[in-house]
């Protein structure tokens, strides 16, 4: 009986040893596919939005109407390297960082 049992165990061990090379690659396949899906659904679109925002902030000029990330709507009256002066009401101006501008609005919105 022990001979028969050891015969089956050795056969089973031989089968798993031969298949372990391909099974290790197959076990990594779902993780690789998951990373590819995350890249195309999350990482790539976020990088694209960041690039568009950098280009928009780099192109700001006097007279543009903008909305800040705080929700303040106004017209740019002065442009510096890192800061903007935004008129939010007649005679009321605030200074904001360039990167705090969320969006440009169409002319006439302000």
The predicted pLDDT at position 73 comes to 96
In angstroms, the Cα distances linking 110 to 25, 48, 74, 76 are 59, 28, 6, 11
The predicted pLDDT at position 38 comes to 93
Give the closest residue to 99 by CA, choosing from 71, 51, 49, 58: 58
* C-alpha distance across the termini of the chain, in Å: 92
Residues 69 and 108 sit within 8 Å (Cβ to Cβ): no
Residues 53 and 63 sit within 8 Å (Cβ to Cβ): no
CATH C-level class of 62-110: mainly beta
- pTM confidence score: 0.67
In tens, the pLDDT along 44-101 reads 999 999 999 999 999 999 999 999 999 999 999 999 999 999 999 999 999 999 999 9
Residue 78, both tokens: 């002065």
pLDDT at 40 over 60: yes
Residue 25, both tokens: 């690659």
The predicted pLDDT at position 2 comes to 54
The predicted pLDDT at position 45 comes to 96
Write down the domain spans for the chain.
Answer: 1-58, 62-110
The predicted pLDDT at position 46 comes to 95
């Amino acid at each position: 009986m022990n001979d028969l049992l050891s015969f089956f165990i050795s056969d089973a061990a031989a089968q798993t040893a031969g298949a372990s090379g391909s099974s290790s690659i197959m076990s990594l396949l779902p993780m690789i596919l998951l990373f590819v899906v995350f890249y195309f659904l999350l990482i790539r679109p976020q990088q694209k939005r960041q690039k568009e925002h950098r280009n928009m902030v780099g192109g700001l000029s006097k007279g543009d109407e903008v909305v800040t990330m705080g929700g303040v709507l106004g017209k740019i009256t002065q442009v510096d390297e890192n800061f903007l002066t935004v008129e939010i009401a007649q005679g009321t101006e605030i200074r904001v960082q360039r990167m705090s501008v969320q969006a440009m609005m169409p002319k006439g919105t302000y």
